[in-house]
Amino acid sequence: DQQVKQNSPSLSVQEGRISILNCDYTNSMFDYFLWYKKYPAEGPTFLISISSIKDKNEDGRFTVFLNKSAKHLSLHIVPSQPGDSAVYFCAASEGSGGYQKVTFGTGTKLQVIP
């Protein structure tokens, strides 16, 4: 049962343009959503998060939008840079036994073309 889905395995964007990565989820108990970025041969690194009580969170070039009614979130990167080329994982967390249990999506490989 894939509770967090990233339906686009890959995305190519021209440098300077906007990158939009999408994520859908099924579990209405998720209360935080996170995006991680992963380069080859490295572990994922935390990028940005959003609480379920908000619909937007911005950090520099990165903005995450949450649409709870549609159970959908997206990550916008503006402007995209070649160094943004990586695999992006959407993740969602819910309280479980005293901690936040995090479930990851399958990832979207972003390629930013110079």
Partner 1 sequence: DTGVSQNPRHKITKRGQNVTFRCDPISEHNRLYWYRQTLGQGPEFLTYFQNEAQLEKSRLLSDRFSAERPKGSFSTLEIQRTEQGDSAMYLCASSLGDPFGYTFGSGTRLTVV
Residues that bind partner 1 (CB under 8 A): 4, 6, 9, 31-32, 34, 36, 41-46, 49, 89, 91, 93, 96-107
Cα distance between residue 50 and residue 30, in whole Å: 11
Q: Which is closer to partner 1, CB of 17 or CB of 56?
A: 56
We find the least distance from the C-beta atom of residue 70 to partner 1, in angstroms, to be 21
Cα distance between residue 21 and residue 12, in whole Å: 11
Calculate ∠ Cα 112-54-29, nearest 5°: 95
Q: Which is closer to partner 1, CB of 17 or CB of 101?
A: 101
Q: Which is closer to partner 1, CB of 41 or CB of 70?
A: 41
CA 49 to chain centre: 8
